[in-house]
């Protein structure tokens, strides 16, 4: 697994200062300067598939569009891609061979919408947005979420691609549930953005942990766990073992720490340290756990932190597009 920062694309405007950043220098610089600012608009998202997703978000943001529209458009890219095996169409199934999807969305007014354990719908994020905008509720699950989606004109499709089915059948031979950390360098996509107006929104979508029990729900559709946005302070989103993120109300914690004055990276780091402490208290092996947070504040400063090295995140600003390695607690 590589922990090298990969520079993907930058415009001629990309500054030498930015190019000099390494994950290590982000960490030490944060301590000195408490900043890693890019201004607005800006969008960041988890893992390397965030690069493509950010471009879709960027085309909304750079033309003056709203952060809410940007994050929805952005995460729909991996959701619709059958080759991305951890989100939407093509996602790995649960142990019964069923692809069940989790997603949530939050805007600058604290409007929220979420779906969990949703089957057969390629773009759960858009169903989550419809829950937010068209129902008196904030979360729909399982068959209720599916019935609502169908009533809104979403189309029922088979989401289990051949490759995922083959792998699942292979898995069935041993049926051992042991989620692998940093698998393929992409898992859940969490995306947070600030538009030209300075407003924040976020979206998070996933097929969850492969071969989970049917009905299992992770952090990704839970506001405050997998995603949180406070338009006065900042936004955060998470990836990794959802059980651990839920345990610390992860993204709410990150945003509250930013409210108390932490930089985005410091806030993510402190949340990760809490995961580390609780794992030790519970006498579990930290090596089996990955959690990564990314965060953005109202000044356009951003950062990330994770338990184990190997988590990266994509950032898109007017200066171009970058993939950055997150700081980490253990190698
Ligand atoms: C979950 N957080 O369902 C998601 C999955 C994930 O890396 O991000 N895996 O727990």
Domains of the chain as residue ranges with CATH: 20-330 (3.60.20.30)
- Each residue's pLDDT tens digit, 188-219: 999 999 999 999 999 999 999 999 999 999 99
Least confident stretch, 34-48, 62-76, 104-118, 162-176: 34-48
Instruction: Indicate which atom in ligand 1 lies nearest the CA of residue 240.
Output: 7
Nearest CA owner, ligand 1 atom 3: 208
Output the pLDDT for position 184: 52
Q: Catalytic site residues?
A: 188
- Each residue's pLDDT tens digit, 163-194: 999 999 999 999 988 877 665 545 799 999 99
Output the pLDDT for position 183: 58
Instruction: Indicate which atom in ligand 1 lies nearest the CA of residue 243.
Output: 10
- With 80 as the cut, is the pLDDT of residue 5 above it? no
Q: Can you tell me the distance from the alpha carbon of 275 to that of 282, in angstroms, rounded to the nearest whole number?
A: 10
Categorize the per-residue pLDDT at 20 as very low, low, confident or very high, splitting at 50, 70 and 90: very low
> What's the rounded mean pLDDT across residues 151-166?
95
- Each residue's pLDDT tens digit, 77-108: 999 988 888 888 888 999 999 999 999 999 99
Output the pLDDT for position 86: 86
Burial 222-245 (b: 16+ CB within 10 A, else e): bbbbbbbbbbebbbbbbbbbbebb
Output the pLDDT for position 180: 73
Q: Can you tell me the distance from the alpha carbon of 326 to that of 13, in angstroms, rounded to the nearest whole number?
A: 23
Instruction: Indicate which atom in ligand 1 lies nearest the CA of residue 290.
Output: 7
Categorize the per-residue pLDDT at 151 as very low, low, confident or very high, splitting at 50, 70 and 90: very high
Cβ(14)–Cβ(320) under 8 Å? yes
Nearest CA owner, ligand 1 atom 7: 240
Output the pLDDT for position 8: 31
Distance 331 CA to ligand 1 centre (A): 20
Ligand 1 contacts (CB < 6 A) are: 187-188, 206, 208-209, 218-220, 239-242
Query: Nearest CA to 266 among 27, 3, 46, 24?
Result: 27
> What's the rounded mean pLDDT across residues 122-132?
98
Distance 276 CA to ligand 1 centre (A): 17
Nearest CA owner, ligand 1 atom 10: 242
CA angle 297, 255, 118 (to 5 degrees): 105
Q: Can you tell me the distance from the alpha carbon of 294 to that of 232, in angstroms, rounded to the nearest whole number?
A: 17
Output the pLDDT for position 176: 87
Please give the share of the chain, as a percent, with pLDDT higher than 70.
Answer: 87
Q: Residue 79, Cβ neighbours under 10 Å: how many?
A: 29
Instruction: Indicate which atom in ligand 1 lies nearest the CA of residue 241.
Output: 10
Q: Residue 215, Cβ neighbours under 10 Å: how many?
A: 13
Report in angstroms the alpha-carbon separations of 67 from 3, 23, 73: 30, 27, 10
> What's the rounded mean pLDDT across residues 6-25?
31
Distance 54 CA to ligand 1 centre (A): 19
Distance 103 CA to ligand 1 centre (A): 11
Q: Which of 204, 218, 326 to mutate to test the pocket of ligand 1 (most atoms within 8 A of CB)?
A: 218
């Amino acid at each position: 697994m590589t922990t090298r920062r990969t520079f993907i694309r930058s415009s001629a405007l990309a500054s030498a200062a930015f190019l000099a950043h390494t994950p290590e220098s982000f960490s030490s610089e944060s301590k000195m300067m408490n900043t890693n600012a890019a201004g607005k608009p800006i969008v960041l998202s988890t893992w390397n598939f965030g690069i493509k997703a950010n471009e879709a978000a960027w085309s909304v943001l750079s033309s003056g569009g709203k952060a809410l529209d940007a994050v929805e458009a952005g995460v729909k890219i991996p959701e619709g891609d059958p080759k991305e095996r951890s989100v939407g169409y093509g996602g790995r199934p649960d142990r019964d061979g069923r692809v069940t999807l989790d997603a949530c969305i939050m805007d600058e007014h604290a409007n929220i919408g979420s779906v969990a354990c949703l089957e057969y719908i390629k773009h759960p994020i858009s169903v989550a947005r419809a829950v937010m905008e068209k129902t008196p509720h904030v979360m729909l699950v399982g068959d209720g979420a599916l019935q609502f989606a169908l009533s809104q004109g979403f189309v029922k499709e088979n989401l289990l691609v051949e490759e995922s089915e083959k792998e699942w059948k292979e898995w069935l031979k041993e049926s051992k549930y042991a989620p692998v950390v940093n698998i393929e360098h992409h898992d859940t996509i969490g995306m947070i953005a600030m538009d030209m107006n300075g407003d924040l929104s976020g979206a998070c979508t996933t097929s969850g942990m492969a071969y989970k029990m049917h009905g299992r729900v992770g952090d990704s559709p839970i506001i405050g766990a997998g995603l949180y946005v406070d338009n006065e302070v900042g936004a955060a989103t998470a990836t990794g073992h959802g059980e651990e993120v839920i345990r610390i109300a992860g993204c709410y914690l990150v945003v509250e720490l930013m409210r108390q004055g932490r930089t985005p990276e410091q806030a993510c780091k402190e949340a990760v340290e809490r995961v580390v402490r609780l794992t030790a208290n519970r006498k579990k092996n930290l090596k089996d756990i990955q959690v990564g947070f990314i965060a953005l504040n109202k000044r356009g400063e951003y950062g990330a932190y994770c338990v184990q090295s190997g988590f990266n995140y994509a950032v898109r600003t007017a200066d171009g597009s970058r993939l950055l390695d997150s700081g980490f607690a253990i190698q």
